[in-house]
């Protein structure tokens, strides 16, 4: 069975992490599964363009693939001569279209020429599929219209769709108006080192058990304004408990644009060994995102036995079970602050830490890869 896998998404976000570790797990299992896997590296082909799909179809032909697996919701617009498997990570921009790029934002990030290619691809999609019921009738930008049309086209065209959670599968069915052939393959969190050997000391402002941790991007849908307001309203700072922000975009520019309360430490991007060290010694991880498809940081923190406080989302109820503290950030930062103070007031125990780690240990990349390989086999029948 010859499979071409789209490995072009790289970087520090969740989709890039899933791409990297799923590809590695598939490679590990390839000999026993009778799988010949080719991972297509970044090529410079413009994203959100018709050329993006054409490039992947050409790679599939070149490698005589039996299956083409797209690791994001975008699939080729041209007719495919082989089964297409698509991964849908979340439905954020369909459920909350305010997080789509405006035309001006898209042009600033990708360039005006890329905006023209996005518009061309969107016009082509109009001839292939109607917008899904979950999309707005009058989209505010090319990106918003493209997102809705491509989601509908992928749901109708792909041989199978893989989602990391049942919640995403339900969101997709609700968005397009019918149950899509879906394989639920939860991601793993066993990619971090089991120990922090070689990580070096914590940053000088942080002490073991003396900080709250946020891990992720500095993006609006991640709930950072509520997190900062809630931290300022807790008794954490009075106890000498700092708030550490780790991840992409936490730079001087972020500090200049955000209202950071006293006691905040910006760590920026860290490698996996440093990240394991931070999880291991945090008093708790706080994750107040307004939408998730899976949520790496809470489960990564649980894998080290660390307590987590998260937004009360169906997907996090699914992935974390009873092993998290839940709050409704939309209610008020004060309510979240009270929940956080309650967490910090409660004693923790080695047994509770072991229970949290055991729950997270169920999420393994080899298990995910086996679900994906089964999906490939079924796509060929």
Residue 310, beta-bridge partner list: 287, 326
CB atoms within 10 A of CB 95: 14
Q: What is the mean pLDDT of residues 138-165?
A: 96
Percent of the chain with pLDDT over 90: 81
The residue that leads in pLDDT, 113 or 199, is 113
Q: In 3-state terms, the chain is what percent helix, strand and coil (to 5)?
A: 45, 15, 40
**What is the rounded CA–CA span in Å between residue 245 and residue 265?**
6
First to last CA, the chain: 12
In this structure, how many other beta carbons lie within 10 angstroms of the beta carbon of residue 6? Answer: 25
The per-residue pLDDT for 130 is 93
Fold classification of 2-188+365-379 (topology level): Rossmann fold (3.40.50)
Confidence at 135, pLDDT banded by 50, 70, 90: confident
What is the rounded distance in angstroms from the CA atom of residue 163 to the CA atom of residue 112?
Answer: 32
Half-sphere exposure in the Cβ direction for 246 (13 Å, CA) = 23
Query: Which pLDDT score, from 0 to 100, does residue 106 have?
Result: 96
Rounded mean pLDDT, 25-37:
96
Please, which pLDDT band fits residue 219 given cuts at 50, 70 and 90?
A: confident
Q: What is the CA radius of gyration of the chain?
A: 21
pLDDT digits (tens, 9 = 90+) for 333-347: 889 999 999 999 999
- pLDDT class of 196 with cuts at 50, 70, 90: low
Domains 2-188+365-379 and 211-360 share a fold: yes
Q: Kindly report the CA angle at 32 between 164 and 365, in degrees rounded to 5?
A: 25
- Is residue 332 predicted with pLDDT exceeding 90? no
Could you read off the pLDDT of 222-279 as tens digits, one per residue? 999 899 999 999 999 888 899 999 998 887 667 666 778 999 999 989 999 999 999 9
> Which class would CATH give 211-360?
alpha beta
pLDDT at 259: 79
List the one residue out of 230, 216, 357, 223 whose CA is nearest residue 288. Answer: 223
Domain boundaries, the chain: 2-188+365-379, 211-360
The closest alpha carbon to 246, from 283, 215, 285, 292, belongs to 215
What does the pLDDT average to over 318-338? 92
Residues 281-320 have pLDDT tens digits of: 999 999 999 999 999 999 999 999 999 999 999 999 999 9
Nearest to 125 by CA among 165, 98, 156: 156
Give residue 199's pLDDT band: very low, low, confident or very high (50, 70, 90): confident
């Amino acid at each position: 069975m010859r499979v071409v896998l789209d490995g072009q998404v790289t970087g520090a976000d969740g989709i890039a992490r899933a791409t990297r570790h799923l590809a590695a797990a598939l490679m590990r299992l390839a000999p026993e599964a009778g799988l010949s896997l080719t991972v297509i590296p970044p090529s410079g082909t413009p994203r959100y363009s018709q050329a993006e799909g054409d490039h992947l179809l050409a790679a599939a032909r070149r490698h005589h693939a039996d299956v083409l697996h797209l690791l994001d919701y975008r699939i080729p617009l041209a007719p495919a001569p082989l089964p297409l498997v698509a991964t849908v990570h979340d439905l954020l921009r369909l459920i909350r279209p305010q997080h789509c790029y405006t035309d001006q934002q898209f042009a600033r990030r990708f360039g005006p020429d890329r905006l023209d290619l996005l518009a061309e691809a969107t016009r082509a999609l109009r001839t292939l599929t109607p917008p899904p019921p979950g999309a707005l009738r009058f989209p505010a930008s090319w990106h918003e219209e493209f997102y809705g049309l491509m989601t509908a086209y992928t749901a109708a065209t792909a041989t199978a769709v893989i989602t990391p959670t049942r919640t995403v599968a339900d969101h997709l069915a609700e968005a397009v108006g019918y149950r899509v052939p879906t394989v639920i393959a939860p991601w793993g969190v066993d990619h971090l080192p089991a120990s922090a050997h070689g990580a070096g000391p914590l940053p000088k402002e942080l002490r073991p058990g003396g900080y709250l941790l946020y891990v992720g991007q500095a993006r609006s849908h991640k709930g950072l304004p509520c997190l900062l307001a809630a931290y300022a309203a807790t008794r954490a700072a009075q106890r000498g408990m700092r708030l550490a922000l780790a991840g992409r975009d936490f730079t001087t520019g972020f500090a200049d644009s955000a209202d950071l309360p006293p006691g905040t430490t910006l760590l920026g991007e860290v490698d996996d060994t440093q990240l394991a060290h931070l999880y291991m010694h945090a008093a708790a991880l706080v994750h107040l995102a307004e939408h998730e498809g899976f949520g790496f940081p809470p489960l990564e923190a649980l894998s080290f036995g660390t307590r987590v406080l998260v937004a009360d989302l169906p997907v996090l109820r699914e992935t974390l079970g009873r092993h998290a503290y839940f709050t409704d950030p939309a209610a008020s930062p004060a309510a979240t602050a009270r929940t956080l103070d309650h967490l910090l007031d409660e004693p923790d125990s080695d047994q509770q830490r072991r229970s949290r780690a055991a729950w997270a240990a169920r999420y393994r990349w080899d298990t995910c890869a086996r679900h994906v390989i089964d999906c490939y086999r079924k796509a060929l029948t």
